[in-house]
């Protein structure tokens, strides 16, 4: 299952080189990039950087915080936190190509001293107990059947009182998900929890849930705007299509319907260990 998930996300060839190529074509100097230049691809979740910053508000971060990002992807959320709060963020992700690209992108924007990325499974973290002040996971658990293990691992590596921010795609009450989606081309690697499941899972892992925020309506507008840009041919130089492939426009159209028809919901949780 882990291999199938990594294959779904892996893309083709050297991702950092492909991203650099697209940026150069758009007239950007790789030596003078900012995180904003990468935001359309490295914040790989619905509502992008804005959603990361909203989640981070609940994490009680300071410049001294050590933060873990479970399923860190291309590292956008980790860099956003490191840049905004001056904290240190470690990312772990199943997909080797993403960890390599995350490391390169961090070097380009001068954040290598505050973020690091390693290949690993969020359900078996290679870290000692009680190491982190805060943890987050954004749009990852949709691919994980053993969510109980993932949340138990997050709880284990957090210090007592540490905050855990979760922002994920959940199963809605409107019927089966329409595939392909950005996280799965068919149901075998898709494992969506319902909002009721999430309360049971997070409490069962030993977390106190401090807040739950449903952002589905904004998510629908976000995907509708992306679908419109694709139709008009006005997408930014970097898009998820670079690694998700040529069916990304179909995934986008499906996501608009999945949200409109309440087949999926996007919900954020702030929890305390």
Ligand X SMILES: C[S@@+](CC[C@H](N)C(=O)[O-])C[C@H]1O[C@@H](n2cnc3c(N)ncnc32)[C@H](O)[C@@H]1O
Instruction: Specify the residue, 73 or 162, whose C-beta has the smaller distance to ligand X.
Output: 73
Quick one: 208 or 213, whose CB is closer to ligand X? Answer: 213
CA distances from 28 to 32, 33, 177 (A): 8, 7, 38
Instruction: For the CB of residue 215, give the shortest distance to ligand X in the complex, in Å.
Output: 14
Q: Pick the piece of the chain touching ligand X (CB under 6 A) from 57-65, 102-110, 121-129, 209-217.
A: 121-129
Residues 6+ apart with CB under 8 A from 217: none
Name the minimum Å distance from CB 250 to ligand X: 17
The smaller minimum CB distance to ligand X, of residues 147 and 263, is found at: 147
Q: DSSP strand E in 3-81: where?
A: 66-70
Q: Which two tokens stand for residue 119?
A: 């290949």
Let me know: does 258 contact 264? Beta carbons within 8 Å: yes
Q: Binding of ligand X at residue 164 (CB under 6 A)?
A: no
Contact yes or no for 16/41 (Cβ under 8 A): no
Q: Write the CB contacts of 77 (distance below 8 Å, at least 6 apart in sequence).
A: 43, 45, 52, 69, 136, 138
106 binds ligand X (CB under 6 A): no
Residue nearest to ligand X (CB): 73
Q: Would you give the binding string for ligand X spanning residues 50-89, x where CB under 6 A is met?
A: ---------------------xxx--xx------------
Interface with ligand X (CB under 6 A), residue from 90, 106, 143, 254: 143
The residues pairing with 165 across neighbouring beta strands, listed in sequence order, are 136, 270
Contact footprint for ligand X (CB under 6 A): 5-6, 9, 43-45, 71-73, 76-77, 92-95, 98, 121-123, 138-140, 143-144, 183
């Amino acid at each position: 299952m882990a291999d199938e998930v990594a294959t779904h996300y892996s893309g083709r060839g050297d991702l950092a080189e492909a991203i650099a190529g697209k940026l150069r074509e758009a007239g950007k100097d790789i030596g003078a990039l900012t995180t904003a230049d990468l935001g359309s691809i490295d914040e790989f979740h619905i509502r992008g950087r804005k959603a990361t910053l909203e989640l981070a508000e609940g994490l009680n971060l300071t410049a001294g915080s050590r933060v873990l990002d479970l399923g860190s992807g291309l590292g956008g959320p980790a860099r956003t936190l490191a840049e905004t709060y001056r904290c240190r963020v470690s990312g772990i992700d199943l997909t080797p190509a993403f960890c390599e690209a995350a490391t390169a992108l961090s070097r380009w924007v001068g954040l290598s001293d505050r973020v690091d990325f390693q290949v690993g499974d969020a359900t078996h973290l290679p870290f000692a107990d009680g190491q982190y002040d805060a943890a987050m996971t954004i749009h990852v658990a949709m691919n994980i059947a053993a969510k109980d293990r993932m949340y138990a691992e997050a709880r284990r590596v957090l210090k007592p009182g540490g905050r855990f921010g979760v922002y994920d795609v959940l199963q809605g009450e409107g019927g089966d998900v329409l595939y392909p989606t950005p996280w799965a081309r068919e149901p075998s690697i898709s494992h969506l929890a319902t909002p009721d499941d999430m309360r049971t899972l997070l409490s069962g892992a030993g977390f106190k849930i401090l807040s739950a925020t449903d952002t589905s309506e904004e998510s629908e507008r976000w995907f509708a705007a992306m679908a419109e840009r694709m139709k008009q041919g006005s997408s930014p130089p970097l898009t998820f299509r670079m690694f998700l492939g040529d069916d990304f426009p179909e995934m986008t159209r499906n996501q608009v319907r999945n949200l409109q028809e309440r087949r999926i919901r996007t919900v954020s949780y702030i929890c305390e260990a």
